[in-house]
Chains A and B, each alone.
Chain A
Amino acid sequence: QKEVEQDPGPLSVPEGAIVSLNCTYSNSAFQYFMWYRQYSRKGPELLMYTYSSGNKEDGRFTAQVDKSSKYISLFIRDSQPSDSATYLCAMSAYSGGSNYKLTFGKGTLLTVNP
């Protein structure tokens, strides 16, 4: 079983739709959770950062972490064509010392159609 599982999609939605992106993980030591957005032929850029369980909202984006289910989600409200990108979840067990690695999902390709 991979440490992080993410449905690769592709996911195609009309403009204005609510988008839900998800990842599951197996390592219960993960406590830092991130979502990166990657436009075509660009490097990933951090979109959301969450520590431990709970919700975090930033504009149209909401990140949720459920550590009991080992499940994280990213919701995009009022999706725009400019949101079309690949979304990668990432997580790490500890920030600092020798265990500083991020483990990424394979990414979900999202297309928002005008």
Chain B
Amino acid sequence: DAGVIQSPRHEVTEMGQEVTLRCKPISGHDYLFWYRQTMMRGLELLIYFNNNVPIDDSGMPEDRFSAKMPNASFSTLKIQPSEPRDSAVYFCASSTGSRNIQYFGAGTRLSVL
């Protein structure tokens, strides 16, 4: 398996623009997680899905952030409008089974100027 695939790997945008991050989980995994990592706050869970349904979005910082999972093989995290404080590395992870072992993608490094 190719693992969790995220795109783009790097995104540079200007404040106010819409940003869409994409994730393809490992085939057969029924949980999908979106995280944000910064030096100051570490790795923070934003939202997670089970069988394409959002279960917990309490980590989503503001209404500017939204996430969707239209099918088992694709999810998006959207920021609209983006702000400089959104600059971070965004990771997607997927898992299955009772042990909750999460497999991470390589991340998207977002810079908002």
Chain B residue contacts of A102, Cβ below 8 A: 33, 45, 100, 102
Which residues of B are found within 8 Å of A104, using beta-carbon distances? 42-43
The answer to whether A114 has its CB under 8 Å from any CB of chain B is no
* Minimum CB–CB distance for A79 against chain B, Å: 23
Interface of B is mostly: strand
- Pick the residue among A41, A88, A95, A98 that contacts B55 (CB under 8 A): A98
Q: For the complex, count residues of B whose C-beta is within 8 A of A.
A: 24
Q: Does B25 contact A (CB under 8 A)?
A: no
Question: A45 CA to B43 CA in the complex, in Å?
Answer: 13
| Interface residue total, chain A, C-beta cutoff 8 A | 23
A49 adjacent to B104 (CB under 8 Å): no
Per the bound structure, the CA–CA distance linking A95 and B4 in Å amounts to: 21
Q: Is the CB of B104 within 8 A of A45?
A: yes
Cross-chain contact A43 with B91 (CB below 8 angstroms) = yes
B42 pairs with A105, CB closer than 8 A: yes
Q: How would residues 17 to 44 of chain A score, 1 for a CB under 8 Å from any chain B CB and 0 otherwise?
A: 0000000000000001010100001111
> Contact mask B81-113 → A, CB, 8 Å, 1/0?
000000000010100001111111111010000
Which residues on the A side are within 8 Å of B14 (C-beta)? none
Binary interface encoding of chain B residues 20-36 relative to chain A, with 1 for a CB under 8 A from any of its CBs, else 0: 00000000000101000
- The 7 A-B pairs at the shortest CB distance, nearest first, are namely A43-B104, A106-B42, A104-B43, A95-B100, A95-B98, A44-B104, A43-B106
B: residues with CB less than 8 A from A are: 4, 31, 33, 41-43, 45, 48, 50, 55-56, 91, 93, 98-107, 109
